[in-house]
Structure 1
């Protein structure tokens, strides 16, 4: 099996390379939200590095799972954001537009953090490359959870797209999965990375599981409190009908809708 420092170092190099190219892309595009498209590419490159170094069927399966997830997500985000300006989440995070705060500020606040996050959440992939397979059942449990996550992401995105095309839509999307959780795509993303932890970290033994559990924990925290749900809700709460929707619908974990509060 390859040396830990080699796998960790090359994985970090791959993440840094993609984020460097993304900084150039963002400078030309005039918005840092292009990093959402590049995020999947960075993780796919890291997964490829780990698969080549590890060489096992487990590592290559993890690469396929990451590449499939990333390809769907990146294409969806790229199509959705085409022709739009800066994402309000990043404007809030940076304190202004890219042209106002400068590239160096964007690198510190966004690209450096995103590159470090790519390396951190890829720890289960690195563990699989270094430690090898201990428990096959954990691989398939992880694949099952990955399927749940991708299903939530893709179905939630499709339902939201259908809602936006409906001329008779209400002020707030509360149909389908969106009636059970206000962020089915973020919940699905968390499930994907807990699934990859099962298939890569836990499947590689207890020590690898303990070392790499920070990966899905950090990803979940990131999705809920840092650049995901909580940050988005600062904007959404200003929309008519959204506070009422939030009062009856779980923010993250899918739960049956609560009864509407009496007027």
Structure 2
């Protein structure tokens, strides 16, 4: 018990300290630009390239440092909780960069929505992990480590961390757009807010229903087929996609529809993750038959009414 508590405390301290290099660097940059006469070529570059700077900080502080810590601990757990933290850091970074220009209310609304999304997701993560820091890594990473074997130490950098940069920087592109364009609010901002809130609420309800189902451990009920899960096989994934597409609406409204690329990449990734999850369910003998029926009758993502499997139709006729 004592070793578990020590490990939990150690991982919590590491998690709180690990973003310090980026934070301290950015604070140094902010301090330096207050006196233009002291600008170096480095600060000039940081000033003129906010999006590239975000990528550089991500590469060294997340890709490299998180990977190094993962190798030392033999567990790449840290990227999971930080998936919920990095977008919050990015929205504040873009809003405080010296080149930022934006509509004040839109910025505050998007920042508040991002905090709400983050709090929901981090709560779900720790609730699922029994409030432990780094108790385990994502099962998909573990499966990959078995597949790569002795090459996993270097392959993990490209299999885990480089894609995280692509997805998180890509998903956060609307934050950059929102803090680069100063236009009055419009009805499309309201639409974007409604879409984002709908995504957060849907994902929260779905994850809570899943958590309650797993916590009960009722062996007589092999799969969750109640609540939102009656209408969708992955309503939590659906809610997460809706949230990010809502952010894309903000950017589209400001004339930068290209920022949807992150939401599109995330949807494609979730399609692959969905396949992995369903394949895993089908490998469990106690659930396979029930899940096959569930697949035939229930919508994959978008909540919709049940359909009857062909086998049941012919049997009832």
TM surpasses 0.5: yes
CA contact (8 A) 2:63 2:157 kept: no
CA distance in structure 2 between the partners assigned to 1:38 and 1:243 by the alignment: 34
Q: 1:112 aligns with which of 154, 159, 162?
A: 162
CA contact (8 A) 1:152 1:184 kept: yes
Q: 1:140 aligns with which of 181, 184, 190?
A: 190
Partner of 1:242: 291
Indicate how the Cα distance of structure 1 residues 80 and 22 shifts in structure 2: closer, same or farther if over 3 A, else same: farther
Structure 2: unaligned runs, 5 residues or longer: 1-45
4-13 or 144-153, which deviates more? 4-13
Partner of 1:254: 303
The alpha-carbon deviation at position 25 of structure 1 amounts to 4.2
3-state DSSP of counterpart to 2:225: coil
CA distance in structure 2 between the partners assigned to 1:167 and 1:113 by the alignment: 34
CA distance in structure 1 between the partners assigned to 2:227 and 2:86 by the alignment: 32
Indicate how the Cα distance of structure 1 residues 87 and 98 shifts in structure 2: closer, same or farther if over 3 A, else same: farther
Answer yes or no: is 1:65 the counterpart of 2:110. Answer: no
CA distance in structure 1 between the partners assigned to 2:48 and 2:147 by the alignment: 38
CA distance in structure 1 between the partners assigned to 2:165 and 2:300 by the alignment: 27
Q: How much is the aligned-residue C-alpha RMSD, in angstroms?
A: 2.5
CA distance in structure 2 between the partners assigned to 1:29 and 1:36 by the alignment: 15
The alpha-carbon deviation at position 95 of structure 1 amounts to 4.6
Partner of 1:32: 76
Indicate how the Cα distance of structure 1 residues 30 and 108 shifts in structure 2: closer, same or farther if over 3 A, else same: same
Partner of 1:10: 53
Q: Which has the larger radius of gyration?
A: 2
TM-score of the two chains, using structure 2 as the length reference = 0.72
- What number of residue pairs does the alignment pair up? 254
The alpha-carbon deviation at position 164 of structure 1 amounts to 2.0
